[in-house]
Amino acid sequence: MTPEIQSQKSRALCELAPVIPVLVVADASKAEGLATALVAGGLPVLEVTLRTQAALDVIREMAKVPGGHVGAGTVLTPDDVKRAKDAGASFAVSPGATERLVRACEEAELPLLPGSATASEVMRAMEWGYSMLKFFPAEAAGGAKMLKSLGGPLPQVSFCPTGGVSPTNARDYLSLSNVICVGGSWISPDAEVAAGSWAAIEARAREARALK
């Protein structure tokens, strides 16, 4: 799967909702309930970061939830790509991009949403064939003003900013012509996930759905 096709598929997923929940889940037994609540709240695209030992099991369980599209985040190596694909991930997200990672996603036919934070990084991704990127770490890298500036010389690239995005600044990003959606972790607080407070998480997902 070429980077061009990967970006087409990533963009289609990003267009499904204004927010992609970024999830760090340590207990796989919470996966189905969490995914069900988020999908019911109107956020069908979920990013499960590979930051816990349970992450791959969480992806397996969430991939069973009807209407959901589950991807793996913090994908750094070709081995991460293989493990994510085997677990049922339908896309991958990385904080940056390397040639090894790009080639691994091509071979595994797993759409990659590669990260970038500077004009040079965006241009390198464009040379590989990507047109849909993650902007990370969004707030630390200049926020919505930086993304607006990138849109001038590089209008052919679209972004999903992640990192420091919250309900208070999400609309600043979503109002930009080169932003398709944002990624955020505020929708499913750890305490609510641990307690199985699915109704509260679903309500927060509905609020996020209404941001755009």
- Reported residue count of the chain is 212
Return the bridge partners of 184, or none.
21
Return d(Cα 123, Cα 44) in angstroms, integer.
30
- Decide if 144 is inside a domain: yes
- The number of distinct structural domains making up the chain is 1
In a domain, 212, yes or no: no
Query: Is 68 among the domain residues?
Result: yes
Q: What is the pLDDT of residue 108?
A: 97
Q: How many CB atoms lie within 10 A of CB 10?
A: 28
- Domain of 191, in residue numbers: 3-205
pLDDT, residue 137, reads 97
Check residue 212 and give its pLDDT: 76
Q: Residue holding tokens 């927010």?
A: 19
Cα 207–Cα 171–Cα 186 angle in degrees, nearest 5:
50
- Residue 178 tokens read as 């080169």
130 token code pair: 């990507």
Q: CB neighbours of 195 closer than 8 A, spacing ≥ 6?
A: none
Tens of pLDDT along 69-105?
A: 999 999 999 999 999 999 999 999 999 999 999 999 9
* Bridge-based pairing state of the strands 182-184 and 112-113: unpaired
> For residue 211, is it within any domain?
no
16: domain CATH number is 3.20.20.70
Give percent of the chain with pLDDT exceeding 70.
100
Is residue 114 assigned to a domain? yes
Distance, CA of 173 to CA of 196 (rounded, Å): 30
Residue 155 included in any domain: yes
Question: For the stretch 56-66, what's the b/e string if a residue is b when 16 or more beta carbons lie within 10 angstroms of its beta carbon?
Answer: bbbbbbbbebe
| Radius of gyration of the chain from its Cα atoms, rounded to whole angstroms | 16
Residue 91, φ and ψ in degrees, nearest 5 = -160, 170
Amino acid 75: pLDDT? 97
Contact yes or no for 29/191 (Cβ under 8 A): no
Given a cut of 70, the residues of the chain with pLDDT beneath it are none
Residues carrying an active site annotation:
47, 134
Instruction: Read off the pTM.
Output: 0.95
CA distance 90 to 158: 20
